Amino acid sequence: MNEYKVIEYTDVLKRDKEVEFKYNGFYYEVFESADSGYVVNLYFSNERNEDGYYLDKNIIEGGLCAGNAMDAVRFMLC
């Protein structure tokens, strides 16, 4: 992912406290954790439930990033 997109998604995360994007065929969901840091989830499908949330059955990986917003956006991109 180019640096411009990383900065764009980081700005959205800082402003809205969450960001979603597609990269390399996967769907990323990043949001502020209630405790500290950011929750980062990676899905293989953008299928959602009636409330608009990604379906848990489609999750590939999830984790907590203790860094800053830019760290969280980059967390599972590698």
| DSSP secondary structure, 3-27, as one string | HHHHHHHHHHHHHHSEEEEEETTEE
- Spatial strand order of the sheet with 59-65 comes to 18-23, 26-32, 38-43, 59-65
Q: What's the predicted TM-score (pTM) here? A: 0.92
Q: 57: domain range?
A: 3-74
User: For the chain, what is the domain count?
Assistant: 1
For the chain, state the CA radius of gyration.
12
pLDDT tens-digit series, residues 40-65: 999 999 999 999 999 999 999 999 99
CA dihedral 1, 72, 43, 53 (to 10 degrees): -120
pLDDT tens-digit series, residues 7-45: 999 999 999 999 999 999 999 999 999 989 999 999 999
**Which residues does 8 contact at the CB level (< 8 Å), separation at least 6?**
none
